[in-house]
Structure 1
Amino acid sequence: MTDKTPHPAIGGNWASLLLPIAADDGIEFDKLGEEIDILVEAGVDGIYSNGTSGEFHNQTEEEFDRIQAMLAERCKVSSTPFVIGACQPDPLIMLNRVRRAAALDARAIQVILPDWWPLSDAEAVDFLKRAADTADGIPLILYNPPHAKRVLAPQELGAVCGGVPEVIGIKLADGDDSWYAEARRHLSGLSLFVPGHHLATGIREGVAAGAFSNVACLSPRGAQIWTASMRNDIDAALDLERRICAFMDAHIVPFRRDLGYSNAALDKLLSAIGNWGPVGTRLRFPYRSIDAAEAVRLRPIAHSLLPDLFP
Structure 2
Amino acid sequence: MFEGIYVAIPTPFKNGKVDEEALKNHIEFLIENGVSGIVPCGTTGESATLSYEEHERVIALTIEQCRGRVKVIAGTGSNSTAEAIRLTKFAEEVKADGALLITPYYNKPNQEGLYLHFKAVAEAVSIPIVLYNVPGRTGVNMLPETVARLSDIDNIVAIKEATGSTNVATEIVRLCGEKIEILSGDDLTFYPLLSVGAKGVISVTANVLPAKMVEMYESFVSGDISKAMKLHLELYPVSKAMFIDTNPIPVKTALYFMGRMEKEFRLPLCPMFPEKEEKLRETLKEAGVL
Bin for the TM-score computed over the shorter chain: 0.7 to 0.9
CA-to-partner distance for each residue in 1:26-79, whole Å, 9 max, x for gaps? Answer: 211221122222222222101111110101111111111211111111112x52
Question: 1:175/1:287 Cα in 2 relative to 1: closer, same or farther (>3 Å)?
Answer: closer
The answer to whether the 8 A contact 1:10-1:209 is kept is yes
Aligned partners of 1:109 and 1:265: how far apart in 2? 24
Q: Identify which of 140, 152, 155 aligns with 2:142.
A: 152
* Residue matched to 2:46: 55
Q: Out of 235, 253, 277, which is 1:269 matched to?
A: 253
1:123 is matched by which residue type in structure 2?
Answer: G
> How many correspondences in the alignment?
286
What whole-Å deviation, never above 9, does each CA across 1:170-211 have from its counterpart, x for those lacking one? 112254554344233123221111122322211122x21110
The reply on whether 1:39 has 2:23 as its aligned counterpart is no
Paired residue for 2:221, among 217, 231, 252? Answer: 231
Detail structure 1 runs of 4+ shifted over 6 Å in the superposition.
none
Q: Structure 1: which amino acid aligns with 2:248? A: A
Summarize the Cα distance change of 1:298–1:286 in structure 2 as closer, same or farther, 3 Å threshold. closer
Partner of 1:105: 95
CA RMSD of aligned residues (A): 2.5
Identical columns (%): 20
Partner amino acid, structure 2, of 1:54:
G
Distance 1:26 1:247, change over 3 A: closer
Contact 2:255 2:261 in 1 (8 A): yes
| Counterpart residue type for residue 3 of structure 2 | G
- Aligned match for 1:169, one of 144, 158, 165: 158
Q: 1:252 to 1:158 in 2, by over 3 A?
A: same
Q: Distance in 2 between matches of 1:27 and 1:292?
A: 25
Stretch of structure 1 that moved more, 26-35 or 290-299: 290-299
SS at match of 1:211: strand
Give the drift of 1:96.
Answer: 0.8
Could you tell me how far 1:99 is from its partner in structure 2? 1.1
Deviations, residues 185-240 of structure 1 (Å, cap 9, x unaligned)? 123221111122322211122x2111001220221222222221212312221233
Contact 1:107/1:139, CA 8 A, preserved across alignment: yes
- Structure 1: which 5+ residue stretches go unaligned? 1-8, 257-261
Amino acid across the alignment from 2:18:
I
- In 1, are the aligned partners of 2:4 and 2:199 still within 8 Å (CA)? yes
Alignment match, 2:203: 213
SS at match of 2:221: coil
1:65 and 1:243, CA in 2 relative to 1: closer, same or farther beyond 3 A? same
Q: CA deviation at 1:104?
A: 1.4
TM-score by length of 1: 0.82
1:27–1:292 CA distance, 2 compared to 1 (3 A): farther
Write out aligned runs for 1:51-200 (5 A): 51-76=42-67, 78-135=68-125, 137-145=126-134, 146-159=136-149, 161-176=150-165, 178-188=167-177, 189-194=179-184, 195-200=186-191
Aligned to 2:13: 21
Gaps in structure 2 of 5+ consecutive residues: none
CA contact (8 A) 1:170 1:190 kept: yes
Q: Distance in 2 between matches of 1:109 and 1:37?
A: 21
Residues of 2 paired with 1:129 and 1:281: CA distance? 38
Shift of the 156–226 alpha-carbon distance from structure 1 to 2, 3 Å rule, reads same
> How does 1:222-261 map onto structure 2 within 5 Å?
222-232=212-222, 233-249=224-240, 251-253=241-243, 255-256=244-245
Cα distance in structure 1, aligned partners of 2:280 and 2:112: 46
Residue 15 of structure 1 deviates from its aligned partner by: 1.2
TM-score w.r.t. the length of structure 2 is 0.87
Which amino acid in structure 1 is aligned with residue 229 of structure 2?
Answer: L
Partner deviation per Cα, 1:77-130 (whole Å, 9 max, x = no partner): x52211111122222222111111111111111112332312233322222222
Match of 2:193 in 1: 202
